[in-house]
Amino acid sequence: MNKHYMLFTIVAGLVVILDQVSKAIVVQVMPLHSTIEVIPGFFNLTHIHNPGGAFGFLAGNDVALRHAIFLGVSVAALLLILYFYHNTPMSHSFLGIGLAMVFGGAAGNLIDRFRLGEVVDFLDFYVGSTHWPAFNAADSAITVGIGIFIAHVVFNRMPA
């Protein structure tokens, strides 16, 4: 495997490992729907399962339809990320790391969908009674990776 793909594999692999290990710990230690207050008034660990997409998108739809849509979209997204990474020159390693983070996060959530039919979420940030929807390490990696991609677009650093 050449150096270009080695970096991608390491970053994406670390994201998947961190995501799956953190979810396994939460599932093992915390009963479903339980909460551990970490920073009062700001951050809890809350064990929930999200059958939908981001922010619970399609959570109320038919299970078979939901699975087909999320599995199909996830596989298509992974292939698209690989295509973008393949066409990203090594001189744009920061962009490559961002793409690997998105890939690893998408793969981590896809593993949950295959294993459980839904995604384990547990990071719960809030102010007062206003909560951001709970998320996980995979979602965090996707967000950071997309942020890196957007920074490259905004600062005109995209490969030619």
Active centre residues (catalytic): 121, 139
The C-alpha atoms of residue 105 and residue 89 are separated, in whole angstroms, by: 22
Q: How many CA atoms lie within 13 A of 29 on its CB side?
A: 11
Bridge partners (DSSP) of residue 126 are: 131
Residues contacting 33, CB < 8 A, separation 6+: 46, 47, 48
Residue pair 18/137 in contact by the 8 Å Cβ criterion: yes
Q: How many CA atoms lie within 13 A of 61 on its CB side?
A: 13
The C-alpha atoms of residue 119 and residue 58 are separated, in whole angstroms, by: 13
